[in-house]
Amino acid sequence: MRTLRHLSLALVLTPALHCGNADVIMPGPNDHERVQQVLIDAQPGAVIQFGEGTFHFAQGLSLTTNNVTLRGMGEGKTMFSFKDQAVGSQGLLVKADDFTVEDMAFLDTAGDAIKVEGAQGVTFRRTRVEWTRGPDSKNGAYGLYPVQCKRVLIEDCSVSGASDAGIYVGQSDGIIVRRSRAEKNVAGIEIENSMNADVYDNTATGNSGGLLVFDLPGLQFVGGHNVRVYNNRIEANNENNFAPEGNIVGTVPRGTGMLIMANDKIEVFGNTFKDNKTGSLAIISYLLTGLKWDDKKYDPYPESIDIHDNTFDGGGDAPDPTKELSLALAAYFKPTPDVIFDGLLDDKKLDGGKLPEALRLCVRNNMHKGGAFSFAMFDAEHLPTGMPMPNRDLAPYDCTHGPLPKVTLPGVQ
């Protein structure tokens, strides 16, 4: 006997097309109710297919079933619009293992676009996230946002308009971010408090900061390490910083190509840095932020950093006048050197005034297109009492740590 509930559910699940052995869910009335019910009813191994068109949601979606794939017809064909979202902190919140989303677009979420929390096995493939009004502090903080995850693959995706980071991976282990584009975000791509990450063949352009590798105190996991950043194009990241007030990424000067802060064992090679107006690449300690912390496990110093075989083109010619670091750079350099280092070292680790070989910063075999490669260590210890004293001598940094291991994920070529 068909009850009123069964009849109601049948109405909720339409409209749909039948394609092979799977229903294709099409846009229509009650999009949120219909799609959320499908996510609730999904069984492990399900592939949920969405058809062409724009789905409209007034509240966020959630998924808790393991091994589910959400698949659209293409990032320009299947679009989830949250322009009228009034409920929920994310467009889609996932707390499930082996999650995949591909060939779809998520637009104008009130908060983060897609957050995946505590999962083992996460894949974002050919997924677009965009806030269509452009850079705005009212936009959601994160676009693609896996946190406390293992085995993360982000490939062939694009994110635009995030008020924190477009592509963000935090407190995670085993990460590949490749062939993706981050544009007009505060931070284009950010790897934070994570280990064993390969970030390659991406484009970061038009952001405030192109690519950030951070380690911050006070999180469940601290001590990010083993990150390779290679063969990326990091170009013209000169957007005004539109992060909401109080956000740590709001301290990043516009015009920053890449910023490494407080991480260890980072290898940066084969990248092209072009026309980032504050500077191309900076390696700094968390101490430089002036912020305090109460985390005994936290190490604020970047160590075992290897910068080699990168190409620099322009940049450093107009530092952000609204940030202290940029003002210091502008006072001493015209233009900012290609690579800058704050010179802050952990006194407890020094031997004869120097770090052990394994902890040194190495900078070698880089080139500047149409000119000489430039480097400077600015003695940030003097910042509290005066301007830093720059040292351009590259000889103490002529070393190598050898290649970091490649990140491998099961089933990923």
- Per-residue confidence (pLDDT) for residue 201, from 0 to 100: 98
- Per-residue confidence (pLDDT) for residue 8, from 0 to 100: 34
Q: Render each residue's pLDDT in the chain as its tens digit; 413 residues.
A: 333 333 233 334 445 554 444 689 999 999 999 999 999 999 999 999 999 999 999 999 999 999 999 999 999 999 999 999 999 999 999 999 999 999 999 999 999 999 999 999 999 999 999 999 999 999 999 999 999 999 999 999 999 999 999 999 999 999 999 999 999 999 999 999 999 999 999 999 999 999 999 999 999 999 999 999 999 999 999 999 999 988 889 999 999 999 999 999 999 999 999 999 999 999 999 998 888 999 999 999 999 999 999 999 999 999 998 887 777 777 778 899 999 999 999 999 999 889 999 999 999 999 999 999 999 998 766 555 555 567 899 999 999 999 999 999 999 99
Query: In whole angstroms, what is the distance from residue 21 CA to residue 55 CA?
Result: 23
Handedness of CA 330, 278, 208, 269 (dihedral sign): negative
Query: In whole angstroms, what is the distance from residue 259 CA to residue 135 CA?
Result: 21
Q: Which residues of 160-170 are buried (b: 16+ CB within 10 A; e: fewer)?
A: bbbbbbbbbbb
Residue matched to tokens 């350099």: 333
CB contact at 8 A, 260 and 245: no
The pairing of beta strand 22-25 with beta strand 47-50: parallel
Q: Is the backbone peptide bond immediately before 29 cis, with ω within 30 degrees of 0?
A: no
CB contact at 8 A, 162 and 184: no
The pairing of beta strand 99-107 with beta strand 47-50: unpaired
- Per-residue confidence (pLDDT) for residue 21, from 0 to 100: 44
- Please return the burial class of 198, using the count of CB atoms within 10 Å of its CB with bins 0-12, 13-18 and 19+: buried
- Per-residue confidence (pLDDT) for residue 327, from 0 to 100: 76
- Per-residue confidence (pLDDT) for residue 81, from 0 to 100: 98
- Per-residue confidence (pLDDT) for residue 27, from 0 to 100: 97
